[in-house]
């Protein structure tokens, strides 16, 4: 169900990285965005002048397999229109020329976006050896070249230096701010951009495939703030081969896994098949919180939490939890709070009290 990944693709990728800022605000109106994932003709849909259904309140997550050639904002607008949702946002920007996991939040799910953004992300990407560019991807201009090509053994040995907590210099073409200005804006204006190294965590990075001497397909599982383009740049320098990212796919974001992604065309087909088929692609709000502790409270405690009051956990069966936790009551998600010394302090309260209509479509990672 997921889109294929081309190991030797050379699609340019300008600003896609692990720490792109979350978008929680309501998406732009769907009328302002193209209704096609690739920008190609879809005559039957483009000529559909039927009145649109009224917007409705929906709560949950749609795990979109974003195609290349579409911005994240456009993707949100199209999915929002398909579902007729009133409020939507996404957890982590993907550049138009990258594909893969774009979690889209409806309604109350937007409150859980920060927890998704803090989770691990898995990227599969192709490094093109021989050319380093000013953007560290194939859209940029070549700044250094090399005739040297590393062996598989060279690459595997070099990857060991990237695992764990490492210091990484972000690309000059990044969304980081320097004196209130985005680094990529300064770089495009020809100014010298100097960014300081910062710590990032790469839990896993492996050589997956070697299509030819010029290309290597890697897979990395990394923490918040990691730039995949910087990995390709630094690996090329370490191997005296220079390099940049020529293709990128985000496989997983936090608890959202690649096998559960829904392509855009399938989503359209579900909408045409009927409401039941479409709603089956909507996952519960609580899916985003699977990686933090879960606490169940009584109805009276749930009422206090919804009113913004703290609750003390009592009894020998009270869970021993510290830090963030998701609080439920009778199967409904009530709040997200901090637990300190046996007391829950709510800081995100959910306004709906219905139980999730269906469990998540997959198990934990």
For residue 21, CA distances in Å to 69, 101, 325 come to: 20, 15, 23
Nearest-5° Cα angle at 211, 207 to 214: 90
Q: For tokens 């909507």, what's the residue?
A: 282
- 125 within 8 A of 208, measured Cβ to Cβ: no
- Alpha-helical (H) ranges within the chain are 43-46, 72-83, 113-117, 152-159, 183-188, 228-238, 264-273, 275-279, 299-306
CA 12/CA 141 separation, integer angstroms: 11
Phi and psi, residue 106, nearest 5° = -110, 140
Q: Which of 36, 59, 95, 234 is catalytic?
A: 95
- How many Å from the N-terminal Cα to the C-terminal Cα in the chain? 18
For residue 8, the tally of other CB atoms under 10 A from its CB is 14
CA 69/CA 96 separation, integer angstroms: 5
Any catalytic annotation for residue 214?
no
Q: For tokens 């579900």, what's the residue?
A: 270
What's the sign of the alpha-carbon dihedral 6, 122, 337, 284? positive
Look up residue 278 and give its two tokens: 């479409």
Look up residue 332 and give its two tokens: 């409904």
**DSSP-derived 3-state class of residue 204:** strand
**DSSP-derived 3-state class of residue 181:** strand
CA 247/CA 205 separation, integer angstroms: 16
CA 15/CA 135 separation, integer angstroms: 9
What is the DSSP secondary structure assignment for residue 38, as one 8-state letter? S
- 246 within 8 A of 211, measured Cβ to Cβ: no
> Would you name the residues annotated as active-site residues?
95
């Amino acid at each position: 169900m997921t889109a294929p990944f081309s190991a030797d693709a050379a699609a340019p990728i300008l600003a896609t990285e692990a720490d792109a800022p979350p978008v929680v605000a309501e998406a732009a109106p769907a009328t302002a965005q193209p209704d096609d994932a690739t920008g190609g003709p879809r005559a039957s849909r483009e000529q559909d002048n039927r009145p649109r259904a009224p917007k409705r309140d929906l709560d949950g997550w749609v795990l979109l397999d974003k195609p290349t050639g579409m911005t994240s904002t456009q993707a949100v607008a199209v999915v929002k229109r398909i579902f007729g949702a009133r409020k939507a946002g996404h957890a982590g920007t993907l550049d138009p020329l990258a594909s893969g996991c774009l979690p889209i939040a409806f309604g109350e799910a937007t409150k859980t976006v920060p927890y998704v953004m803090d989770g691990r992300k898995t990227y599969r990407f192709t490094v093109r050896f021989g050319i380093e560019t000013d953007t560290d991807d194939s859209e940029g201009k070549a700044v250094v070249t090399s005739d040297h090509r590393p062996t598989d053994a060279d690459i595997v040995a070099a990857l060991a230096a990237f695992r764990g907590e490492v210091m990484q210099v972000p690309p000059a073409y990044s969304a980081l701010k320097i004196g209130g200005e985005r680094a990529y804006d300064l770089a495009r204006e020809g100014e010298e951009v100097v960014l300081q190294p910062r710590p990032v965590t790469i839990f896993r990075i492996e050589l997956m495939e070697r299509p030819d001497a010029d290309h290597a397909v890697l897979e990395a599982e990394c923490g918040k703030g990691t730039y995949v383009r910087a990995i390709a740049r630094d690996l090329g320098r370490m191997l005296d081969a220079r390099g940049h990212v020529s293709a990128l796919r985000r496989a997983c974001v936090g608890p959202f896994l690649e096998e559960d992604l829904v392509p855009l065309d399938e989503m359209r087909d579900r909408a045409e098949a009927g409401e039941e088929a479409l709603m089956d692609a909507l996952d519960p709000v609580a899916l985003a919180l699977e990686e933090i502790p879960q606490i169940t409270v009584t109805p009276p405690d749930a009422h206090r939490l919804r009113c913004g009051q703290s609750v003390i956990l009592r009894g020998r069966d009270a869970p021993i939890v510290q830090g963030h936790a998701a609080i439920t009551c009778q199967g409904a998600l009530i709040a997200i709070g901090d637990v300190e010394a046996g007391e829950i302090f709510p800081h995100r309260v959910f306004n709906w009290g219905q139980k999730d209509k269906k469990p998540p479509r997959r198990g934990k990672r």
